[in-house]
Amino acid sequence: MRVVILMAVCGLMSDATSLVAAVSRGRAVHPAVTLKLRGLPPLVVRSIRYEPPPGQSPFNSPYRCRVTLTTPGRGAVTVETIGIGNTETVSCDGLAAVGVVPGPMPRIGFVYDTSSPNASGRTPVVVALDRRSGRWTVDDALSLGLVDRMGTMTIPAMRRALATR
């Protein structure tokens, strides 16, 4: 926060400052959910929908989504889920479902309502924990593969599709 204030005082407003302001204006679009993943303490998941600053969305997607993953006593991490990578061309309309999905590492499945100027639908996103680095990241390849494999965009459908992967 000091950096943002210092940049403002010095007249060095940047896109980063705009992004901080945009995210702070974001709003939760799904109630917080506590998930229990094997071998990990309970994880509180919150989804936030926000407008990116002007010029930050090359495809003019009006809304992005991110999740905040909080482990009590250990702090929180934020992961961009809609509006980057494979999902940079769609706008986030909100989180439809979240749940634990199977895999060789801890994974969380998200199903978002998304839209573009000419279509709307549901988009699956898988966030996985890299045990070596301790970082949660979107698994773009797996998420994109689910779009092709899933008929119904639900957490149970994700679990079935990932049971063999």
Phi, psi of 74 (to 5 degrees): -125, -5
Rg (CA), the chain: 17
What pLDDT shows up at residue 22?
38
Give residue limits of the domains in the chain: 27-162
Could you say which DSSP state residue 150 is in?
Answer: -
Cα(152)–Cα(111) distance, rounded to whole angstroms?
Answer: 10
Residue 147, number of CB atoms within 10 A of its CB: 15
Q: Taking the model in full, what pTM does it have?
A: 0.79
Residue 128's contacts (CB-CB under 8 Å, 6 or more residues apart) are 103, 105, 106, 107, 108, 136, 137, 139, 142
Assigned fold of 27-162: Lipocalin (2.40.128)
Asked if 8 and 18 touch (Cβ cutoff 8 Å), the reply is: no
For 15, the token pair is 């896109």
C-alpha closest to that of 67 among 138, 18, 158, 157? 138
Asked if 69 and 45 touch (Cβ cutoff 8 Å), the reply is: yes
Question: Which SS3 state, helix, strand or coil, does residue 79 take?
Answer: strand
Q: What is the pLDDT along the chain (165 residues), one digit of tens a residue?
A: 222 222 222 233 333 333 333 344 556 566 899 999 988 899 999 999 998 877 666 666 689 999 999 998 888 999 999 988 888 888 999 999 999 999 999 999 999 999 988 889 999 999 999 888 889 999 999 998 888 776 668 999 999 989 876
